[in-house]
Structure formats: C-alpha cells, structure tokens
C-alpha cells in the first residue's frame, strides 16, 4: 500500500489571502469571485501536486474561542471582514463539497487547532502531513513528517516550511516559533508579547535561552539593560502570549482521520460550479478530459426511412441550418433525441416522411427545441407546420440570463454543465472558411445538439422555477416565439417601384448637393468618410473643433449643427448625410431584402437585448424613418398584401413614463396620468410653476427632455448635452423635477440600491438583468451600470407589456375569427394588416386588448390609425 498523505487546508486564511492578492473579480451575475478563484487555484494545485489520500479544509467556527478566556482582546481591533469576501464563503464551501472534500469547524476552536490536532494524530499513524495556510503561525507544527506551505505574495506560490527551512530562515526549531511569538507578539492577532521585542531580538534571546521559560529562569544571568527591565516587567504577558500562540494539539474533534479519505471530485458538480463562477480556464481544463471520456458510448443513428417507430411523444427536435438567415438558408439536417435514441435525419429523408409531417404538426406531441422560431420558420418553407413546442432552450437560457448571446446550442448547454458537444465554429469554420463537414461529422454534431437539448431541459427549467421566472419563459416568451414566427413568415409587402422611383429622385438631389459641397470645399473628397470630411472642415476650412473622437475630429450631426453659421458648406453636408442615409440604408438596403413574393421577411431577435425588447434584422423594420418628412415617405412603400386590405397601426402612448408612474407610485405622476393631460406640458407646469396656457414650446421641450432623461437614468451631463445648456442649468432642472416628483427620486435611488445589494434588477414580469458593473471601481463603468439599473426596469417592463399584449391580441383575433393579422412590432406599437371591413372592429378591440393586458396604477392609453400604406396609418 502506498503511504497515506493527509492534506490539511486553512480555509479562512487561504480565502483571506486570495481575496487580498487578487483584483475584485465578478461573474456575470455580479457575485464576487476573486477569493473563490484563488482558493480554487490553490486547492487544484495542491491536489495535483500532493496527490493526497486524505484531505480536510478547516474553518474558524466563530468569533470567540477558548483563547478569549485567557485574553479578552485576543484578535481584537481586527477590521471587519469585507462583505465582498464574506459572500464568497458560501461558494468556497460549495466548491469543497463539489470536490467531495470534508470541511470542518469546531465551536470554540480555530482552524489552526483542528489542523494541529489532526496533524499530530496523523503522524502517530505514520502518515505524511501537508498543511496549507496563509498564516505563518502554523509553521510551529513542522517536523520530519509535517510540512507547512505558506502562501507567498501571489496565491499559488508557496514557501515550503520544513525543519531545515525553519532553521535556515530563523535559526530556530519549529517549536521555538511559539516562544518567538510569545516574546515578539503578533499584531494581527492582537497578541501583546513583550513591548520593544521584535523578531530580531526574540530570535537572539531564544538562541541563547531556547524557551521563554528558560529565559525567565535564567534572567538573572543577563547583563542589566533596558531590555532586561522590559522582560522582567512583562513576564506574565510573555507567558500569556506564548500560551495564546500555541496551537492546541488535543482539540476535541468530532471527526476522525478515517472520515477524510479523498476519492476524487464530483466532476459534474465541479463543471457546474466553474460555469456559475465563470472560471473559463479551469473549465477548459475539464472539458478536454470530459469530452474524451464521454464520447465513446455516444452513437447517432442515421435514419434512411423516417417512420412512426422513430417518432415519440417527448423528443428533442433540432433543425440544423446553414446560417442564421433561416428564411432563406438550407436545412442541413434534422436531429431527434429522447434520452435513449439519437437520430440524425438527412433533410431529404425528412422531407419525404408523412409521419414526420404529422408528428411535427401534432399539438399533443411535445417537442424540445432550441430556437423554435427558426425551426418553424425554416420548416414552413417546405410545407411543414410545427406545433407542440414544449421547451425552447434558447429562450429559457435568455430568460435565465439575457447577457448571453448567440444561438449556437453548444455554449448554451455548456452553461448548464453539458459538455459533450462542439460549437458550430469548430464544426463548420467561420466566415469565408465555412464549409460542410463530412456527413458523419454532421450527423454527430446534429445528434449531439438534439441529445443535449433533451438532457438539459429539466435542469434549465428548474433554474427558472427557482428564480420565479418560469412563468415569464413558458407563458410569455414561448408562445410569443410562435406568434413572431408567423409574423416573419407572413412578411410585409414592399412596393419595389415606389422605392425605385424615390431612389431616382434622391440620386438627382444627391448629385447636385455633392457638386455644391466639392465647389465649397475647393476639392473632391469622400463625403462619407468622417476622416476626410474632418480634414476638409477643421484643417482646410479651419472651423471650430467642438468635439473629438478616439480617432480624430467628430463630424456628428450635433457638432455640425453648431457650425452652421461658420460655413455655408455645413448645411449641405447635413442635407447630404440625411439623403445618403435614406438612399443607402432604406432604398437600396430595403430593395435587396424584397423576396419573390414582393415581401420583406424580417427576423425578430427574441433572445438578444439586455432589457427584454425585441430587435429586428434583415431588414430592420424597427427603424424605418418617421421623424423627418423626407424619410417618412419611405413608409409609402409598405402596403397591405391583398387588394381591399389596409394597414392598421396601434401604439401605446407614453408607455415608459406610465410604467415609471406605476413602479415609483409617485403621487403626482400617477395623478398626472389619471388626469389624462399631455404629460410633457403637465411636467412643464409643475417644474416651472406656471399654468397650462403659459407653457411655451421651449418649456415643453425642456420638460420633455427631462422626462426622457429620467427614463434613461438621468445625469446632468446627459441632459445638458441634449438641451444644449450648461450642466449647472441641467442640474437645476433635475433638482426641480425631483422636488415635484419626489416618489420618482426615491424609486430611482432604491432601484440602484437594491440592484447593488442583489446584483440584478427586475421588471414587472420578473425579467432580470444582472449588473456586475455596479461595484466597479471605475467611475464611468459604475455610473453606466447605475443608469442601467434605473432604465432597465422601465424599458424592460414596457417590453413585457407589449409582449403580453401580442399574445392576448393573437388570441382575440382567433376568437373573433378575423382575417386581420399582426405583421410588425416596433417596441411600443403593433402593425396589422386586415380587410378594410374589419377596421371598425379592430378600432374597438385592439386598444381594448392592449390597454387591458396588464393593470397598472395608471391607465394605459393606445392611439391607432389605418391607411393604404404604412405612411398613411399615422
């Protein structure tokens, strides 16, 4: 049998060391992790190096110990443990548990005493003992069988104390370390020692007298000196100090050496722990081992004839797509898994299976998917209908933490500890290097995805249930995915010829302006290049530099606006920029996106934004121009898909401010909305103390800007920029606003305070956003996080509301058996198309459903209109 090795770690001391040695790291959920990380590194290293047969981590039990009976002030005057550290002990304990390592604490005793007692017992049984601590006190335990490792500056660097090392370092035996402490004391433990005696003197004395006892017995032999007087005066204190510094080797432990046997870690629990902590390096180290071990018994069956025997009632379904453009791209294959079987189905095989078609369309057959919207949209192009989606990994993971990005299955399941899977990039390559792998590799990749989704479902759902987010996911996001999918597949008609005609007009105008600019500049240059434009404006024409960017002069619109009076060229540049934007993004860009059916089919990203909003891509239909008339005309190209149909648009009025009124419950703001008056005018009246009819356009404009600022998490600087006033004036506005709406002020402060405490903010429907940056030591980073803490509950709750309205609206349309259908969502508005005969009923039910979807302390208000084009539905 190999020799037994006992590894003993001083938990508290190592955690402290790690905490102060490493910068204050956090994971994505805002939990501090530096001490945990340092501790993990140390533990990992020791286990690998020592390869112990028994391990224990000892902790201090509480504030008072038997030493306090001797000396009340023992360890007195210590700084309180920083909260950033104390919160980490929970995780350190969890880590130790994941390793299946025993941890132990004993009331009235310190970790030192536990370690000392066990070390003594182990040596009597002939074991080797390795102690790890950040505290040199432990070195008194050193002997031929006990080695003590003390951390040095970093965290994984240690000094190895053997009897020889102690001798070399102090010229003393390990036992004499206690005597040394008795004489010199220890300021960190508040052990007094003999005043005036430091390390040097203590060592000198002990070399002569060996022990404290012997020193006092022979004190008469010392020559008279100040030192001698001090020693004599402090004799009892010296004995007491020695006693305090002595590690108790007979602590009444309730565990035995046999309980400490180490048989290796719970790998799965460790992976999960590293995931939670965001310990990338440690995780990567594990993955290599994991994949190679689990890989072997993983078989994916390639199906050549897909029939009922393959299709079960609860299965993971994965539709593998060639890229993210699921409205146009190829389907590379289908994966199915049910915990027993894993199938890869070439898409050509799937297409020919009527059983598969029926299985997909069955409401009662539960499918577990990741990105169900992409699956149902892509399959719909081949005549498949998908129903019965019971789980969507992408959405669930997004609700769990919206900071996640990307739809690849591998990183998602890895976040929940499932490792036997490869990333898309690893299988296909990236960008220009993208290529199909062999069918074998493809089958494995698709099979793995399906299997991982099946495997991870319960764990993910459990996580959401524990955070009370399951309802948000299951009753809001999951049904919404279906609705969004239908909207995307339905598409909205865009008239090519209308856009083309606008494009030609624009081109003519642009050519004229372009010439004008070249004439005024005295040369040709690329007006679209901020760099070249900067040279013309600020070097050649010598205009005032208002703002600089990282790379040079800023030529942004707000800057140019201020330079209007300095040179005639400015207005032309502004005009050029505006028209050029329309031409490239909205005319040319949109034309490229029109499909054969004359429609554009956007993709609504449902698992992307940090706040819970949707976003829209290819094309982005959430930023079609409206503010300026020239741009607004683009909307004339958006038309209904059938003759005698019209577009119907309904938008929430001031939804974010209403949400703010609700969440803050500010008396005045709630009152304002109940009155039903224009909110910006009403704000102006209150802030400027004037009557309604005295509010001029400037006052209203200022009030509006303040209202916006409030929603964004106001700062005087931001407001000053927006209103082009001084910071001081902006500050005065804000102060006045908060005087009038004190409840809003309190609410904002509380939002930040709560977020700091719990690490995240929440919305009306319990959506979360984690804000680790709230504890940043960088002013800018921290301020940003604070504004986010104020804005996200507002923006996110508004997003919750309209999402719920979409679900309610969809149900209502079905219930009323209307042909009307939802086409677009633009954050606070819904756009439908409907036969014109249905408009009267839509005018009744759409506002009704939208306004009633969630009851707030203030009414929700919906405005609506309809027309033959999107432009006319205003």
In the structure encoding, which two tokens stand for residue 457, read together? 């479902």
| Spatial distance between the Cα atoms of 120 and 249, rounded to a whole number of angstroms | 7
Q: Are strands 102-105 and 54-59 parallel, antiparallel or unpaired?
A: parallel
In whole angstroms, the minimum distance from the beta carbon of 139 to DNA comes to: 43
Q: How far is the CB of 709 from DNA (least distance, A)?
A: 2
CB under 8 Å to 669, separation ≥6 — which residues? 657, 660, 661, 741, 743, 744, 858
Q: How far is the CB of 493 from DNA (least distance, A)?
A: 19
Residue numbers 130-169 binding DNA by CB under 7 A:
none
Least gap, CB of 609 to DNA (angstroms): 4
Residues of this chain, 811-870, that bind DNA according to CB under 7 A: 826-829
611 belongs to the binding site for DNA (CB under 7 A) = yes
Q: How far is CA 119 from CA 56, 123, 662, in A?
A: 11, 6, 63
Q: How many residues bind DNA (CB under 7 A)?
A: 74
Instruction: Tell me the DSSP string of 7-61.
Output: EEEEHHHHHHHHHHHS---B-TTS-B-HHHHHHHHHHHHHHHHH--SEEEEEE--
Residue among 52, 174, 346, 709 that touches DNA (CB under 7 A): 709
Burial class (CB in 10 A: 0-12, 13-18, 19+), 362: middle
Closest alpha carbon to 439 in 542, 268, 320: 320
By CB under 7 A, name the one of 779, 814, 815, 817 that touches DNA.
Answer: 779
| Residue showing tokens 């059916």 | 597
Q: Quick one: which of 445, 572, 613, 682 contacts DNA (CB under 7 A)? A: 613
User: CB-wise, 446 or 711, nearer to DNA?
Assistant: 711
Window of 186-194, 247-255, 333-341, 714-722 that interacts with DNA by CB under 7 A: 714-722
Say how far apart CA 315 and CA 736 lie, in whole Å: 60
Q: Establish if 777 lies at the interface with DNA (CB under 7 A).
A: no
**Nearer residue to DNA within complex by CB, 36 or 555:** 555
Per DSSP (E only), the strands in 349-487 are 366-369, 389-392
Contact positions with DNA (CB under 7 A) in 508-527: 526
CB of 530 to DNA, least distance (A): 4
């083309």: which residue's tokens? Answer: 500
Is the bond leading into 777 cis (omega within 30 degrees of zero)?
no
* 491 sits near DNA (criterion: CB under 7 A): no
Q: Which of 108, 173, 243, 722 binds DNA (CB under 7 A)?
A: 722
**Is 51 or 581 the residue whose CB approaches DNA more closely?**
581
719 forms part of the interface with DNA (CB under 7 A): yes
- C-alpha 402/C-alpha 800 separation (Å) is 14
Query: Considering the rule CB under 7 A, would residue 631 count as an interface residue with DNA?
Result: yes
Q: How far is the CB of 608 from DNA (least distance, A)?
A: 5
DSSP codes joined into one string, 730-748: HHHHHHHHHHH-HHHHHHH
> In this chain, which of 13, 455, 605, 869 binds DNA, going by CB under 7 A?
605
Of 124, 323, 528, 642, the one binding DNA by CB under 7 A: 528
Work out how close the CB of 526 gets to DNA at its nearest, in angstroms, rounded to a whole number. Answer: 5
* Closest residue by Cα to residue 147 from 112, 186, 170, 174: 174
Nearest distance in Å: CB 869, DNA: 16
| Tokens of residue 476, six digits | 């809001």
Shortest approach of DNA to residue 574 CB, angstroms? 7
Nearer to DNA by C-beta: 3 or 550?
A: 550
Based on the shown chain and the rule CB under 7 A, indicate whether residue 12 belongs to the binding site for DNA. Answer: no
CB-wise, 267 or 851, nearer to DNA?
851
SS3 label, residue 516: helix
Q: Which is nearer to DNA, 779 or 815 (CB)?
A: 779
Sequence-ordered alpha helix ranges (H) in 598-664: 629-632, 655-664
* Minimum CB distance to DNA, residue 552 (Å): 7
Residues 533-592 that bind DNA (CB under 7 A): 549-551, 554-558, 560, 574, 577-578, 581, 584-585, 588-589, 592
Separation between Cα atoms, residue 174 and residue 729, nearest integer Å? 70
Cα(first)–Cα(last) distance of the chain, in Å? 86
Under 8 Å between Cβ of 87 and 758: no
Nearer to DNA, 447 or 534 (CB): 534
Q: Does 729 bind DNA (CB under 7 A)?
A: no
Give me the least distance between CB of 863 and DNA, in Å please: 12
Question: Do the bridges between strand 331-337 and strand 314-321 make them parallel or antiparallel, or are there none, so unpaired?
Answer: antiparallel
Q: What does the H/E/C string look like for 830-848?
A: EEEEEEHHHHHHHHHHHHH
């Amino acid at each position: 049998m190999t020799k037994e090795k006992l590894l003993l770690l001083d938990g508290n001391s190592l955690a402290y060391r790690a905490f102060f040695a490493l910068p204050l790291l956090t994971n994505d959920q805002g939990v501090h992790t530096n001490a945990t990380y340092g501790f993990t590194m140390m533990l990992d290293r020791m286990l690998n190096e020592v390869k112990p047969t028994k391990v224990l981590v000892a902790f201090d039990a509480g504030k008072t110990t038997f030493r306090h009976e001797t000396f009340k002030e023992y360890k007195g005057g210590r700084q309180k443990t920083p909260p950033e550290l104390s919160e980490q002990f929970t995780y350190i304990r969890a880590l130790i548990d994941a390793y299946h390592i025993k941890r132990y604490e004993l009331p009235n005793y310190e970790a030192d005493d536990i370690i000392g007692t066990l070390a003594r017992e182990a040596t009597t049984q002939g074991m080797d003992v390795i102690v790890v601590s950040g505290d040199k006190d432990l070195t008194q335990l050193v002997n031929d069988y006990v080695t003590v490792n003390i951390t040095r500056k970093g965290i994984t660097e240690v000094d190895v104390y053997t009897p020889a090392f102690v001798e070399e370092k102090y010229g003393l035996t390990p036992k004499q370390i206690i005597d040394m402490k008795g004489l010199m004391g220890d300021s960190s433990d508040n052990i007094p020692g003999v005043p005036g005696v430091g390390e040097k003197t203590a060592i000198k004395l002990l070399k002569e007298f060996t022990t404290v006892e012997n020193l006092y017995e022979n004190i008469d032999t010392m020559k008279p000196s100040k030192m001698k007087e001090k020693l004599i005066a402090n004799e009892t204190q010296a004995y007491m100090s020695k006693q305090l510094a002595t590690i108790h080797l007979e602590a009444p432990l309730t565990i035995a050496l046999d309980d400490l046997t180490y048989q290796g870690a719970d790998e799965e629990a460790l992976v999960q722990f590293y995931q939670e902590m965001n310990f990338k390096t440690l995780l990567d180290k594990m993955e290599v081992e994991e994949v190679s071990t689990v890989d072997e018994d993983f078989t994916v069956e390639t199906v050549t004839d897909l029939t009922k025997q393959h299709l079960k009632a609860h299965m993971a379904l994965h539709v593998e797509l060639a890229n993210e453009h699921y409205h146009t791209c190829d389907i590379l294959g289908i994966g199915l898994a049910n915990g027993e079987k894993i199938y890869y189905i070439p898409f050509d095989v799937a297409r020919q299976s009527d059983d598969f078609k029926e299985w997909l369309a069955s409401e009662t057959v539960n499918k577990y998917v990741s990105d169900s919207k992409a699956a149902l949209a892509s399959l719909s192009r081949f005549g498949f209908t998908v129903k019965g989606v019971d789980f969507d990994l992408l959405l669930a993971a997004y609700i769990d933490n919206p900071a996640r990005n990307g739809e690849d299955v591998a990183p998602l399941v890895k976040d929940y500890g499932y490792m036997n899977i490869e990333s898309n990039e690893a299988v296909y390559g990236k960008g220009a290097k993208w290529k199909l792998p062999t069918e074998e590799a493809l089958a494995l990749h698709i099979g793995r995805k399906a299997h991982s989704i099946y495997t991870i479902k319960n764990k993910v759902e459990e996580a959401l249930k524990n955070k009370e987010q399951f309802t948000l996911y299951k009753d809001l996001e999951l049904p919404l995915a279906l609705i969004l999918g239908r909207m995307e597949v339905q598409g909205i008609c865009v008239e090519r010829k209308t856009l083309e005609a606008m494009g030609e007009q624009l081109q003519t105008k642009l050519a004229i302006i372009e010439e004008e600019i070249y004439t005024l500049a005295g040369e040709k240059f690329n007006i679209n290049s901020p760099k070249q434009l900067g040279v013309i404006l600020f070097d050649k024409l010598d205009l005032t530099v208002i703002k600089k960017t990282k790379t040079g002069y800023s030529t942004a619109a707000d800057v140019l606006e201020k330079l209007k009076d300095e040179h005639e060229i400015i207005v032309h540049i502004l005009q050029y920029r505006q028209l050029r934007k329309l031409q490239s993004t909205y005319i040319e860009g949109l034309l490229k996106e029109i499909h054969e059916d004359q429609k554009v089919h956007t993709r609504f990203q449902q698992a992307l934004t940090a706040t819970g909003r949707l976003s829209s891509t290819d094309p982005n239909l959430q930023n079609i121009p409206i503010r300026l008339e020239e741009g607004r005309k683009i909307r004339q190209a958006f038309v209904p898909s059938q003759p005698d149909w019209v577009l119907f648009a309904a938008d929430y009025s001031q939804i974010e401010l209403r949400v703010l009124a609700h969440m803050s419950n500010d008396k005045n703001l709630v009152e304002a909305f109940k009155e039903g008056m224009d909110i910006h005018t009403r704000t102006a009246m209150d802030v400027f103390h004037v009557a309604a009819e005295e509010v001029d356009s400037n006052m209203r404009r200022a009030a509006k800007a303040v209202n916006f600022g409030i929603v964004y998490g106001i700062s005087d600087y931001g407001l000053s920029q927006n209103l082009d006033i001084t910071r001081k004036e902006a500050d005065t506005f804000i102060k006045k606003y908060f005087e009038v709406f004190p409840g809003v002020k309190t609410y904002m402060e509380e939002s930040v305070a709560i977020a700091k405490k719990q690490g995240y903010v929440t919305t009306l429907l319990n959506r979360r956003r984690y804000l680790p940056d709230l504890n940043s030591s960088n002013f800018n980073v921290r301020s940003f996080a604070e504004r986010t803490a104020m804005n996200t509950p507002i923006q996110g709750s508004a997003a919750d509301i309209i999402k719920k309205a979409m679900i309610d609206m969809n149900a209502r349309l079905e219930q009323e058996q209307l042909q009307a259908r939802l086409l677009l969502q633009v954050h606070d508005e819904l756009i439908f198309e409907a036969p014109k005969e249905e408009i009267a009923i839509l005018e009744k039910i759409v506002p009704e459903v939208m306004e009633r979807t969630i009851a707030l302390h203030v009414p929700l208000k919906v405005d609506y209109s309809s027309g033959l084009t999107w432009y006319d539905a205003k």
